[in-house]
């Protein structure tokens, strides 16, 4: 089993920055793809960024390209989401997620961390 714990959310004014962290524990060798999602009030959960352990390539949602940056530290089983130039529309609960090599959908989810951007 794998456990994911996010941290780093908060309330910031528009234009500010935040960095989210996701710490994985348990059978972390089974993690192949790591990702960030978010869910705004009244909306479906949406993809933000992802990365495969075997690759340096990172995928971003168009809405965050150029503002958000994904990174990871394998030795700490931790991945990050650096969020710059935050906008009120970035307000959401942010979730980290992971899946194993053969999984079609994300199997492991964190509890979520609230990010609120004031205008």
Flag whether pLDDT at 64 surpasses 90: yes
CA distance 15 to 119: 9
What is residue 74's three-state secondary structure? helix
Residue ranges in 1-119 assigned as alpha helix (H): none
Per-residue pLDDT of 88-102, as tens digits, reads 999 999 999 999 999
For residue 15, is it left (φ>0), alpha (ψ between -120 and 50) or beta?
left
How confident is the model at residue 54, as a pLDDT? 86
How confident is the model at residue 74, as a pLDDT? 83
What is residue 53's three-state secondary structure? coil
Q: Which among 1, 47, 39, 7 is positioned nearest to 23, based on CA atoms?
A: 7
Q: 29 and 54 in contact (C-beta within 8 Å)?
A: no
pLDDT band at 63 (very low <50, low <70, confident <90, very high): very high
CA distance 88 to 76: 31
Per-residue pLDDT of 7-36, as tens digits, reads 999 999 999 999 999 999 999 988 999 999
């Amino acid at each position: 089993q794998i456990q994911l714990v996010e941290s780093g959310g908060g309330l910031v004014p528009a234009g500010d920055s935040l960095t989210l962290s996701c710490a994985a524990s348990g059978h972390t060798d089974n993690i192949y793809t790591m990702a960030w999602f978010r869910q705004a009030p009244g909306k479906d959960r949406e993809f933000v960024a992802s990365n495969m352990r075997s690759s340096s390539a990172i995928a971003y949602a168009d809405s965050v390209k150029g503002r958000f940056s994904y990174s990871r530290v394998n030795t700490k089983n931790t991945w990050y989401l650096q969020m710059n130039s935050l906008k009120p529309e970035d307000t959401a609960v942010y979730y980290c997620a992971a899946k194993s090599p053969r999984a079609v959908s994300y199997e492991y989810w964190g509890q979520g961390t609230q990010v609120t951007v004031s205008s």
